[in-house]
Amino acid sequence: MKTDFERTGPMNEVSSYPQWAQDIIAECEPARRRVRDHVMWDMMIEGRIDRTTMRNFMVGTWSLIERFPSFMALNLLKTQYGRSRGDDMARRWLVRNIRVEQNHAEYWLDWADGAGVPRVEVLKGRAPSGTQTATEWCHEVSGRDSLAAGMLATNYAIEGVTGEWAQKVYDSVAYADSLPLAGRKPTLRWLQLHAAYDDTHPWEALEIACTLMGNQPAPEDVEHLRECIERSYLSLHYGLERCLVQQPMEEVEEQAA
């Protein structure tokens, strides 16, 4: 059997990828579903999210948004042009897509602002405890693990599931209607850009990882990659849970006073 992987089927179909990749995608599906189906999105979609939860979500997720191009840069550092086809693909893709991320932090602040969370609060406010786990994990895996692990954990897993929830929220008329009419378009821009309609990024990241690993990686390497993908979903889920239960520090202090 040929050990090099070269995709021949459609990019956005799981069956186009090696069996080991199909297996870990299926195994990680329950963890992914916990993020995709989180009550946070229902609260937004039904236009019933409270101010504290929205604040916690905006402030708690900010570091992940702000640092995302840096994770890609850490992965770029691992590439070496001419070493392998996977390396060349990764290098080209990361260089191009770090640029695409350029304005996304600004659009996140616009979303927060329009949703009633002032940008100064996002920039300077204290993130609820436990919400930084995904950022810390992405930093660790992108900085210290393999190129395939880093790209699967960030560009495949995090971006992939983000595209799914962003699409749900962006499609919600009730959510759009809950926002002030003036400035609604910029408020929704981050969601619009990240909604998964035809986002090819996660698939491209998967293809690059499969090209790097080939058709028959060692079972222990496959298990490690599975764990990295699952950790991304679990850390996102944990962060979302913390947004629901935590209050901003000022309010906690006010109540204690």
Give residues in contact with Fe ion (CB under 5 A). 101, 104
d(CA 140, CA 226): 16
Backbone angles phi, psi at 179, to 5 degrees: -95, 150
The residue among 66 and 88 lying less far from Fe ion, judged by its C-beta, is: 66
The residue among 37 and 101 lying less far from Fe ion, judged by its C-beta, is: 101
Q: Minimum Å distance from CB 194 to Fe ion?
A: 6
Tell me which residue has tokens 């491209």: 204
d(CA 165, CA 13): 19
The residue among 113 and 159 lying less far from Fe ion, judged by its C-beta, is: 159
Residue-wise over 61-98: b if at least 16 C-beta within 10 A, else e? bbbbbbbbbbbbbbbbebbeeeeeebbbbbbebbeebb
3-class DSSP state of 5: coil
Q: Minimum Å distance from CB 107 to Fe ion?
A: 8
| Cβ proximity of 222 and 20 under 8 Å | yes
The residue among 67 and 237 lying less far from Fe ion, judged by its C-beta, is: 67
Q: Minimum Å distance from CB 166 to Fe ion?
A: 10
Q: Minimum Å distance from CB 137 to Fe ion?
A: 17
The residue among 66 and 101 lying less far from Fe ion, judged by its C-beta, is: 101
What six digits make up the tokens of 18?
Answer: 């090696």
Q: What is the dihedral of CA 56, 130, 105, 159, to 10 degrees?
A: -110
Q: Minimum Å distance from CB 144 to Fe ion?
A: 23
Q: Which of 148, 128, 122 is nearest to 59 (CA)?
A: 122
Question: Which residue minimizes CB distance to Fe ion?
Answer: 104
The residue among 17 and 190 lying less far from Fe ion, judged by its C-beta, is: 190
Segments of the chain assigned E as strands? none
d(CA 166, CA 156): 15
Q: Minimum Å distance from CB 64 to Fe ion?
A: 10
